[in-house]
Amino acid sequence: MASLKDLKNRIASVKSTQKITKAMQMVAAAKLRRAQEAAEAARPYAERMGNVLASLGAAYAGRTDAPALLAGNGRDQVHLLVVATGERGLAGGFNSSIARLARETALKLLGEGKTVKILTVGRKGNDILKRTLGDKIVEAISFREVRQLGYANAATVGEKILAMYAGGEFDVATLFYARFRSVIAQIPTAQQLIPAKFEAPAAGESVSYEYEPDEEAILEDLLPRNISVQVFRALLENNASFFGAQMSAMDNATRNAGDMIKRLTLTYNRQRQAQITKELIEIISGAEAL
């Protein structure tokens, strides 16, 4: 059984930890609002770009002269998985849920005889995946030293993906990230980037456009840009999801620390009372012996 001094030290240690988790929860809550606003502001732009590209791409349905980024290269053997996670931990299951979805997809593709390559964006995803799929990771990109994520960071990843595709290093590219829904809900998402896949417009949103210049020139400019736009959206969604998950995790940790302090305090008081009772019995027994 732990001594009174040991219990007292443990209580003090847990209280110090509780102060840290409470401070981290408050910091995450403060950063969450700005990150959530950025993620929500990026969604309409990314969705509208997808709608425009879907409309333009419909004109190439069934044609053999469709752009490679839209129709692919006709092969489905080598898959590039772009796994975007956070740079830090202490956010519950945020990073592991994205890595789990990517790992399940990779194992499924490998089981089908496909070749898998992994490009990680974020230190934690690389740390998790290298344990089981380390030989499949071709490059790890980290923005740990970046204080504020911007489009330039996403463009770096987008240019890397385009360079690999132009070099014939893969046939299909899929992006993995967590879509922010609320503080307690972050949804691991897989989005195919190459060949491009777009969601069908909702009912009532289908509009006929006339384009200037022609569709081919617009697609030539927008398709490569769309890669960076979707990566940027994923980074913003991840950022908001990270702070939401961290806020929730630190709140749970603070509550658990409080419960532990109560249990340790109860044990300390019981043991102290037992020790006092024992000393009183010894004093009374000694007095009676005299």
**Domain regions of the chain by residue span:** 4-20+251-289, 34-246
Q: How far apart are CA 73 and CA 194, in angstroms?
A: 9
What is the distance of C-alpha 84 from the center of its chain? 6
Tokens of 26: 């408050």
Cβ burial, residue 149 (10 Å; 0-12/13-18/19+): middle
Tens place of pLDDT per residue across the chain (290 aa): 678 888 889 999 999 999 999 999 999 999 998 899 889 888 888 888 877 777 777 766 666 677 778 777 888 899 999 999 988 888 888 999 999 999 999 999 999 999 999 999 989 989 999 888 989 999 899 888 877 888 888 999 999 999 999 889 999 999 999 999 888 889 999 999 988 877 655 555 555 666 677 677 777 888 888 899 999 999 999 999 999 999 999 999 999 999 999 999 998 898 888 888 888 887 887 777 76
Pick the closest to residue 165 from 203, 142, 194, 125 (CA basis). Answer: 194
Q: What is the reported pTM? A: 0.82
Q: How far apart are CA 182 and CA 280, in angstroms?
A: 58
Pick the closest to residue 120 from 99, 104, 100, 101 (CA basis). Answer: 99
CATH architecture of 34-246: 3-Layer(aba) Sandwich (3.40)
In CATH, what class is 4-20+251-289? mainly alpha
Q: How far apart are CA 213 and CA 24, in angstroms?
A: 51
CB 2 within 8 A of CB 272: no
Q: Read off the pLDDT of residues 27-73 as tens digits, 9 standing for 90 and up.
A: 999 999 889 988 988 888 888 887 777 777 776 666 667 777 877 78
